[in-house]
A and B are shown apart, each in its own frame.
Chain A
């Protein structure tokens, strides 16, 4: 059983053929649409009543909202709240995409493909650059010159700061992609142990209980990772936005 077969992109129906590029509606696109629809239905349903004493659904939505709003306010200060729609959209999209991918037999994890996470990370990276130059002008470049560093150290420190800034979209995207990929491969490998042990007779079936129990535990861990990585992606977005708004440490 090939553990990376589950990440295969299947074409559901073709849309257009532009030159050498085949544009089709794939299972990846389907799950992105499903995530967006799920987020929209959840938030619309939760805010429809707008009760003073919130019900369960509204309570959950307010929990997510307040959590991200507090994180953003702590990281960037009040002027960063202009970017709350961006951060909250990214958080909810990744959260729902990760959790939808965990559903057995049905889920396809959109975020386990690096093209999706790179697109999200580049969106954040370009936003930081554009906002940084727009709000601060050339003062944005002060970000690469840490205060309190003696002058003769600058030829060494500035290239390091520039490199660490340029590798941000790489680590930002690979972190989410590799976490989801690794988790799903681990689940598949343990599922492979269960079927392999089950195939060798009665003793094997008894032995297969162990990897099966392990799989249940791993699925719980994966649920934690799915939520945690969505949070990590969003909090890093907040921290990078803070650099755009307040350059120069």
Chain B
């Protein structure tokens, strides 16, 4: 296979990983919203945990994006 073509295909495959992070972030915000609607008075206290979970999950998707960028521009 042409190495340049393989590079672009690899970048595309690397981006699949972002789908998992998307599902994870959706689960975090969905569950936060569901819990916040059940008990709105407790919602504010969990905001820090929400952002922390979001950041940790989102980082994994960002990692696969970085791999895609490395394939496209750096290698």
List residues of A whose CB falls within 8 A of some B CB.
Answer: 4, 71, 74-75, 171, 174-175, 178-179, 181-182, 185, 228, 231-232, 235-236, 239
Contact residues of B between 19 and 75, Cβ < 8 Å to A: 48, 51-52, 54-55, 58-59, 62-63, 65-66, 69, 73
Q: How large is the interface on B (under 10, 10 to 19, 20 to 34, 35 or more residues)?
A: 10 to 19
Cα distance A6–B73 in the bound complex, in angstroms: 14
Contacts of A236 in B (CB 8 A): 52, 55
Chain A facing B: main interface SS: helix
Name A175's contact: one of B48, B59, B69, B73 (CB within 8 Å).
B59
Known: A174-B63, A232-B51. 11 other contacts (CB 8 A): A75-B48, A174-B66, A175-B59, A178-B63, A178-B65, A179-B58, A179-B62, A181-B66, A181-B69, A228-B51, A232-B55
- Output the nearest chain A residue to B63 by Cβ-Cβ distance: A174
A23 CB to closest chain B CB, in angstroms? 25
- Output the nearest chain B residue to A175 by Cβ-Cβ distance: B59
- Output the nearest chain A residue to B60 by Cβ-Cβ distance: A171
